[in-house]
Amino acid sequence: MSEVRSLPESQFNLVFPCIADLPRPAGVIKTKEEDFFVEEVMNPELSGEGEHVWLWLEKNGQNTEYVAGQLARFSHVKKVDVGLSGLKDRWALTRQWFSVYLGNKPEPNWNEFECEGVKVLSYQRHNKKLRRGEHSANFFRLVVRNIDNMANVEALLLQVRDKGFPNYFGPQRFGFDGANLDRGVQYFEGKIKASKSQRSFYLSAARSYLYNLNLASLIESGDDLSADLSGPLYGDETPGSNELTEPEKEILEAHPAFKKGIHQNRLRLERRPYLVVPEAMSWSMGEAELELEFQLPTGVFATSLLAEVFNLSQGLGEGNQGMRSTR
């Protein structure tokens, strides 16, 4: 355990250990959107009839929620009538499904849908709305540029491919400069108000941060990660079947604002694997450059995989905030 991962500066200690046992080179992701390609793995059996239209879209440099809003406006429906399975990075080239509930409304000409950076690749009627988390995985094709030392890259990639990587929530979960955590504390303590969507972001950031702390604690203890180990996404326990360990309780007690917010919202205790092994991982290397393909389960961050190999920085967006620092 020779290196650590650092997230944006915040009132919190957002530095988490990794398991790489070799020095990691510096590398840059998202020099352009096409360097970070993500595609939902999902093969829906669409009925061809019904009150919903499912659309397979490609977006470049656009926010998923913004695209959903534009679909609602174009279709003259409420945004709540637009379904999607997963949120995708803005600073990327992504392909994903959306659904639009039309009811008795006439179907618009989807070929006339105009949204900068968005293409309608296909569409078909269906009798159900697309719900969150329906896709099984995400396929990634990424390019890392400006690698300052290629010496250990192959060995580090082999470690990740064969043994997996810590399943940390990535820095994007915490907002720019850790803002979702800082504002979450203010909201849970009653100092600021929040909309329903903001409250959801704050709760998600809090649970993710506490999970990362538990994972970091396990790595720092020197214990090996394995596929059967999992950590808490805090919520109400189920006595006798799903309970917190004493170390997990200690981490929660050390963050009273987060504990208060999680308890007040009556979330259920869930478990998330500590280790993920990528599927179908392959790569090719050039001069100071790497192209990498792999598949990950939903909810797993590609940046957490990359950060086991590189001391990352990001070219586009708010991610110029290094994701790890070397000690």
pLDDT in tens, 207-230: 999 999 999 999 999 988 998 999
pLDDT at 122 over 60: yes
Q: Is the pLDDT of residue 241 over 50?
A: yes
Distance CA 48, CA 64 (A): 25
What is the rounded end-to-end Cα distance, in angstroms, of the chain?
A: 11
Q: Read off the pLDDT of each residue in 313-324 and give the average, rounded to a whole number.
A: 63
For residue 318, pLDDT over 70 is answered with: no
Strands 270-273 and 230-233, sheet pairing = antiparallel
Q: Quote the radius of gyration of the chain (alpha carbons, Å).
A: 21
Residue 108 has pLDDT above 90, yes or no: yes
CA distance 154 to 150: 8
pLDDT at 7 over 60: no
Q: Which member of 35, 89, 162, 228 is catalytic? A: 89
Rounded-to-10 torsion of CA 27, 29, 35, 39: 120
Known catalytic membership, residue 89 = yes
Q: How high is the pLDDT of residue 138?
A: 98
What are the pLDDT digits (tens) for 143-159?
Answer: 999 999 999 999 999 99
The two domains 4-32+141-276 and 43-135 share their CATH topology (first three levels equal): no
Is a pLDDT exceeding 60 seen at residue 319?
Answer: no
The per-residue b/e assignment along 19-37, b for 16 or more CB within 10 angstroms, e otherwise, is bbeeebbbbbbbeebebbb
The closest of 302, 314, 313 to 38, measured between CA atoms, is 302
Tell me which of 270 and 323 has the higher pLDDT.
270
Where does 21-111 have alpha helices with state H? Answer: 64-75
In this prediction, residues 246-254 reach a mean pLDDT of 97
Q: What is the mean pLDDT of the chain?
A: 92
| Alpha-carbon torsion angle 21, 274, 259, 182, nearest 10 | 50
Burial class (CB in 10 A: 0-12, 13-18, 19+), 193: exposed
% of the chain with per-residue pLDDT over 70? 94
With 50 as the cut, is the pLDDT of residue 57 above it? yes
| Domain locations along the chain | 4-32+141-276, 43-135
* 43-135 placed in CATH 3.30.2350.20: yes
- Which residues are registered as beta bridge partners of 279? 295
Pair type for strands 311-314 and 26-29: parallel
- The two structure tokens encoding residue 27: 């590398």
**Angle (nearest 5°) at CA 298 between 309 and 208:** 75
> Letter for the amino acid at 56?
W
Q: Burial level of 286, CB count in 10 A (0-12/13-18/19+)? A: exposed
Residue 171's pLDDT band (cuts 50, 70, 90) = confident
Tokens of 290: 């790497």
- Per residue in 258-316, pLDDT (tens digit) is 999 999 999 999 999 999 999 999 999 999 999 999 999 999 999 999 999 999 999 88
100-109: average pLDDT? 96
**Given pLDDT bands bounded at 50, 70 and 90, which one contains residue 10?**
low
pLDDT at 163 (0 to 100): 95
CATH superfamily of the domain spanning 4-32+141-276? TruD, insertion domain (3.30.2340.10)
